[in-house]
Amino acid sequence: MKLGIDWQKLPEALKRGPMASLDHVREMDLGGIFFPTVLDMSPTLDPGFLKELRAKADEMGLYLEAGLGKINPYCSAEATELRAAGNGDIMAGLTRMVERAAEIGLHELWISPGNFKGQYPGRLANDRFRTDIDWVDQLAAMEKIMHRLAPVLRAHGSHMNMETHDEITSFEILHLIEAVGEDVTGAVFDTANGLQRGEHPVWAARRLAPHIRQTHIKDAYVARAPGGLDFQGRACGEGIVDFAAILPILAEANPSLNLSLEMAASCDDKPRAANPRQCIEIDDPVWRAAHPDLSAEEYDAYMALVDSYEMRIAEGKIEDWAAYEARNYGYPSYSQQSYRYSEARSYIRRSADHIRRKASEAGIVLEMLQRDLA
């Protein structure tokens, strides 16, 4: 197993570009990059550039992963790059990405069921709760797209792996895998997103374990607040997720799995907006009715996790929501000193250190670049 990072969350990713980002990742002592889509590696899907990028990653001992993007056709208007990749034909664009990825040996490809819209409060930030189209119809449409894409994936020995994104439950992902076929589908396990669906991270990991082919490793603050529960991204080890329990589940199911850190983009790369608090409306009847697979037993285990975390907050071991939100999560590069000790860099290092420590305690070997970057 290797520990790397999602490209979109790597500071200065767009400024440096994919090739220089490999140098950045190696300098930060991480093991690879998860590019959200093949288009993030090359917007034109240039086969020559993609081969050069893969060759450089191999030479540096870094992994590369990528994806196809959002496959919910009701969100297509929000992902114009997919239509552009196929010169107006979305399925042709997805097919080209599968083919280009396979040419450089990338066969595990991330897909996602929607777009999170943080400018809206509560459940309306999720496509699951759209009022113009029911979620069950969105799932049916995604299944249809996956069936249409399946032949090209089979031809190249590739998988489209659905992320446990903000909108979808692990139960629904399992249904899609069963419906479309395990030979072309899998899961991207995001260790924190399931919390927004009321799922216990350890329970979700066990459910999905045989199908997990890619990961997003992150942590989150979850505690009671007006309207339900506050959700806020945190560095690994400073949130509610029990990595000591999850990492052995992942390692046993897939010993070659890459662990890709995903955290908030630095404020210098993506300035923060004054968004509403990201509330999980777990006690709302409409929210509860939209989660028919959530058992009473798992709900109780989830709330016990919240209770335990709230004790850590009350004891002052964890910053509350407001204090953390006020932080300047920056990544200044005007001096070597600020570069090394920026908040963004510290966030990544704390997360990486925590995952490595929990992996080591569990007897899991993570491949590392043997360099000291104090």
In a domain, 207, yes or no: yes
In contact, 138 and 113? CB cutoff 8 Å? yes
In a domain, 218, yes or no: yes
Residues 177-184: contacts with CB under 8 Å, at least 24 apart: 177/211, 179/143, 180/143, 180/146, 180/147, 180/150, 181/150, 182/211, 183/154, 183/159, 184/146, 184/149, 184/150, 184/153, 184/154, 184/158, 184/159, 184/160
Full domain range(s) for residue 317: 3-361
In a domain, 370, yes or no: no
Q: How far apart are the first and last CA of the chain?
A: 23
pTM over 0.75: yes
Give the span between the Cα atoms of 215 and 6, in whole angstroms: 9
In a domain, 336, yes or no: yes
* 35: CB partners within 8 A, 6+ apart: 7, 18, 41, 64, 65, 66, 67
In a domain, 366, yes or no: no
The enclosing domain of 205 has a CATH number of 3.20.20.150
For residues 335-344, one letter each, b for 16 or more C-beta atoms within 10 angstroms of the residue's C-beta and e for the rest, the string is eeeeeeebbb
In a domain, 251, yes or no: yes
In a domain, 368, yes or no: no
Local confidence pLDDT in tens for the 374 residues of the chain: 999 999 999 999 999 999 999 999 999 999 999 999 999 999 999 999 999 999 999 999 999 999 999 999 998 888 788 888 888 899 999 999 999 999 999 999 999 999 888 788 788 888 999 999 999 999 999 999 999 999 999 999 999 999 999 999 999 999 999 999 999 999 999 999 999 999 999 999 999 999 999 999 999 999 999 999 999 999 999 999 999 999 999 999 999 999 999 988 787 787 776 666 889 999 999 999 999 999 999 999 999 999 999 999 999 999 999 888 887 677 655 444 444 458 888 899 999 999 999 999 999 999 875 544 33
Structural domain count, the chain: 1
In a domain, 62, yes or no: yes
Dihedral (Cα; 90, 261, 247, 302), 10-degree rounding: -80
At 172, is the secondary structure helix, strand, or coil?
helix
